[in-house]
Amino acid sequence: MRIIIAGAGEVGTHVAKMMCNANHDVILIDDNEERLRQIDAHFDLMTIVGSVSSIEDLKQANVSSCDLFIAVPPYEELSIMSAILAKKLGAKVTIARINNYEYLLPENKEFFKQLGVDELIYPEQLAAKEIRTSLKRVGIRQQIDFSDGKLILYGVKIRDNAPIVNKTLAEVAEMHDQKLYNTVAINREGYTIIPRGNETFRHNDLAYFITTPEGAKQVMEDSGKEQFDVKNVMILGGSRIGKKVAQRLEGYYNVKLIEIDRDKSTRLADTLESTLVINGDGRNLELLKDEGIKKMDAFVAVTANSEVNILACQLAKKMGVRKTVAEVENMDYIDLAENIGIGTLINKKLIAASYIYRYTVKARVSHVKCLTSSEAEVLEFVASEGSKITKGRLSELKLPKDVNVGGVIRSGQAIIVTGNTQIIPNDKVVVFAMPSGIRKIEKMFS
Amino acid sequence: MLNVRVVLLVMGLLLVVEGVFMLLSALVAAGYGEYDMPYFLQSALICIATGGVLWLANHKAPKSIGKREGYVIVTMVWLVFSFFGLLPFYLSKAIPSFTDAFFETMSGFTTTGSSILNDIEALPHGILFWRSIIQWLGGMGIIVLSLAILPVLGVGGMQLFMAEVPGPVPDKLHPRIADTAKRLWGIYVVYTAVETILLWGGGMTLFDAVCHSFTTMATGGYSTKQASVAFYDSAFIQYVIIVFMFVAGANFTLSYSAFMGRFKRIYKDEEFKYYLGFVLLVSALVAVVLYVSGDVDTVERAIRDSLFQVVSLITTTGYATADYLVWFPTLSIVMFMLMFVGGSAGSTGGGIKVMRIVILLKNAYFELKRLIHPNAVIPVRFNSKAVSSQVVTNVLAFIVIYMLIVGVSMIIMSVMGYNLDTSIGAVATCIGNIGPGLGEVGPAVNFAHVPDFGKWFLSFLMLIGRLEIFTVVLLFSPYFWKN
């Protein structure tokens, strides 16, 4: 697939790398030659120095023959303009990044389509949504819902206190009469393992389970996580994500938002309804104590600075906050932050990238999600009529080694798969795949 | 640290490829039923066995090719290919001396075309074919070929590509490096095929047509005849070769544009304009002087000889249809200066490259302007875009190091007892990958009389020239080996 990415910012660069690794033909346009040279030297893609809104430059990138045009320049106006031009010049599908919620409203979708922008992405909005989901259940590193939560993927840190620790997957399966969850992957010391029955759970493993809402309780029990309801939330940083999160949470939780900039605080206080906006430095322990950090159930650090977010979360944990969420934009810190025990990590780039990724998969895919702490991806495929995956029980099919099938949604009913499960056409199948396995499994579904 | 295992892995893979091309030559030798056939089989066996062992022993190596590995791989590949490529010459006793065989092979792969052979026609066809095919492989580049045919090199391919392809900033024809390499080789093969048909139709035997096409497109200059292209006293053949030498010395990206029907790109290309203009201007001057001085008798002959020699030298092919050393003295000097110009960036030609010279001259000219307007911002523009100061610095450094190497090498040659003409001619022709030099290594003579040390030294210069200096010289710099 030929993909043009306009704008080599954080999201653009990350998407470009990802698409390159997935063997797509990638052309990256940006007006900053320096930045492009860096990427060009390390990745197998073509770079073009030019303006993303120049017809001449877009033509030079051969936009008429591209299958997917992704506009992620720094400004929303530029992004929409660029996508419109690309569409008119012959790009098949265009995606533009925006940061205005209005544009996403369903009634405006058709309007943008007519203009030539097929899809809009709003990374901050997606990030806020993810934070909200993560607060619903504590003790969880990452949670992804499929088909309105009928199937759920949980990423859980296994500690010494978990009943399943030092047991193999097969032994764990024998603990219960009914199979309520599937272990699809284990992330150990930075490497992702697709586990088989003889794999043992170890202390400090980040295990990924696929389960149904009914099975969630068992997952929590087996991994030794105590449940409690979140009531009080403190948000650090009134960034776009911070604001979005506050808006989404304020009806359900008691929300306090700390912002260092006075003008920004005033504006936030104006837009947010019941959130208490506090002007001050969130790194100041006295201030945090004054604002009752000890009574908080959750602490969400979403300032523009990844280091501050990680440290503030550490501080909050020390003060007894049980759930911490940190926005970490620096990819190299993710592993580190994961290891020092920050509850949930949010990365805008990964979120946007996984959203875009869906458009590059040929088989019918209804959902794609990249995991924050692992290079793997979780995809929800729709099994096509006559596709290879429907040709027998899972244990009889030769599934790629780097892929694990977790669950199936068949006419609204969630099923946790076993080797005996047979997939029938139109099933929605949740698959956990390493990057090397995506192409292989994709073929089985189309 | 340097990832040695991946270097060995790539060497192994490529040696197998070299072995396959030896088998191809064995087929030719078998076809003519000559004595060299078993030697090709032996050489191929050695290559494939060594390569196979290296490959299997390292196939689990981490496939990360960084900058260091890129430079080491590219330099090593050319050395290893030359050492293994000399086997057919050496084993078959076609070239009994090991030094001579290495010189001939390195001169082949680097598309220099300087030879130590005194009686080329006496050699069997297989050997002549191998001599041509090594130039053909070296022309577009061993690494570019391997990127096109071996998907293993996908990771880090860009590092290798940049280290091998000539020119300050290599162009890509396709987002993916493997596809770029495939397109480049595709064009190369098409041109070679077309030229073969034309030469064959023009009266060459099919064998000679194939060999000459190989060495024209590579801007190599090995001929199957002792007298080089002068052997063929056919205006048609000579004009065909002129055209294809010219095309091979132009940027292959432009050929690709032409194949895709985008001709606008060609006449807008600044380097091409200078390249074409320069060739026409110098040829016209030479033709006039040749005719007026009475070196040749007809106008057509003057035009053809001057065009042929000028194109042959500027593209660094090095075929000869006339001995420019017996021309009017001014012309010999002009010819000598052409040796430094070289082809275009992204061509199969050697030398400094037209683009670098244009950037150098423009920068020098603007320097005058900068003296008068010290605060003015005057960028060097190329292809109507400002060239970043990094590229300009790189170009200047390139030319300085190039000239420095030429200077030092001249002294080394003179120590061996050669006079100024021969020393500078031999050095300029080897580092520029041309073929014939001046004096005792001029177009009418060859390198057989150079002492062994001189041959090794000149072979090294050829490698430095083909890989455009930095790739090789970097390996000798302390920065490269420091962690």
Q: How many CB atoms lie within 10 A of CB B329?
A: 10
Min Cα distance A27 → chain B (Å) is 6
pLDDT for A123 equals 86
Over range B260-276, report the average pLDDT.
88
Cα–Cα distance measured from residue B97 to residue B75, given in angstroms and rounded to the nearest whole number: 24
pLDDT for B155 equals 58
Statement: residue A190 has pLDDT above 80: no
Which site among A43, A46, A64, A439 would you substitute to test the B interface, given the most B Cβ atoms closer than 10 Å to its Cβ? A46
Cα–Cα distance measured from residue B210 to residue A153, given in angstroms and rounded to the nearest whole number: 63
Higher per-residue pLDDT: A162 or B453 = B453
> Mean pLDDT over all residues of chain B?
89
Over range B128-155, report the average pLDDT.
83
pLDDT for B153 equals 61
A25:B159 CB<8 A: no
Task: For domain A229-321, give the CATH number.
Answer: 3.40.50.720
Cα–Cα distance measured from residue A282 to residue A308, given in angstroms and rounded to the nearest whole number: 9
Query: Which positions in chain B touch A33 (Cβ < 8 Å)?
Result: 388
Dihedral (CA of A143, A296, A246, A313) sign: negative
Q: Is A64 on the interface with B (CB under 8 A)?
A: no
According to CATH, the superfamily of the domain at A352-445 is Regulator of K+ conductance, C-terminal domain (3.30.70.1450)
Over range B7-15, report the average pLDDT.
90
Dihedral (CA of B456, B458, B461, B466) sign: negative
Over range A152-178, report the average pLDDT.
83
Over range A394-407, report the average pLDDT.
83
A41:B174 CB<8 A: no
For a pLDDT cut of 90, what percent of chain B falls above it?
52
Q: How confident is the model at residue A109 (pLDDT cuts 50, 70, 90)?
A: confident
For chain A, the structural domain boundaries read: 2-121, 229-321, 352-445
CATH topology of domain A2-121: Rossmann fold (3.40.50)
> Mean pLDDT over all residues of chain A?
85
Q: How confident is the model at residue B25 (pLDDT cuts 50, 70, 90)?
A: very high
pLDDT for A363 equals 59
Cα–Cα distance measured from residue B166 to residue B348, given in angstroms and rounded to the nearest whole number: 8
Statement: residue B413 has pLDDT above 90: yes
- From residue B386, how far is each of B146, B290, B362, B446, B464 by CA, in Å? 34, 40, 12, 44, 29
Over range A210-230, report the average pLDDT.
81
Q: Is A294 exposed, middle or buried (0-12, 13-18, 19+ CB in 10 A)?
A: exposed
B159:A41 CB<8 A: yes
Which residues of B fall below an 8 Å CB-CB distance to A? 67, 154-155, 157-159, 162, 172, 174-179, 388
Identical fold, A2-121 and A229-321: yes
Task: For strands A2-6 and A25-30, give the pairing.
Answer: parallel
Query: Which positions in chain A touch B175 (Cβ < 8 Å)?
Result: 2, 25-27, 44-46
Q: How confident is the model at residue B152 (pLDDT cuts 50, 70, 90)?
A: low
| Residue B163 near residue B474, CB atoms below 8 Å | no
- From residue A182, how far is each of A67, A171, A408, B353 by CA, in Å? 36, 13, 11, 63
pLDDT for B483 equals 65
pLDDT for B428 equals 93
Q: Please list the alpha-helical segments (H only) found in B202-328.
A: 206-217, 235-248, 252-259, 263-268, 270-293, 299-314
> Which of residues 9 through 28 in chain A touch B, CB cutoff 8 A?
25-27
Cα–Cα distance measured from residue A399 to residue A388, given in angstroms and rounded to the nearest whole number: 10
Over range B184-207, report the average pLDDT.
94
Which site among B69, B155, B158 would you substitute to test the A interface, given the most A Cβ atoms closer than 10 Å to its Cβ? B158
| Residue B192 near residue B136, CB atoms below 8 Å | yes
Q: Is A32 on the interface with B (CB under 8 A)?
A: no
- Residues with Cβ within 8 Å of residue B73, at least 6 apart in sequence: B6, B7, B10, B11, B65, B143, B160, B163
Q: Which of A192-201, A354-363, B221-230, B370-379 has the lowest mean pLDDT?
A: A354-363
Min Cα distance A43 → chain B (Å) is 7
Q: How confident is the model at residue B190 (pLDDT cuts 50, 70, 90)?
A: very high
pLDDT for B154 equals 54
B175:A46 CB<8 A: yes
pLDDT for B246 equals 95
Over range B471-482, report the average pLDDT.
85
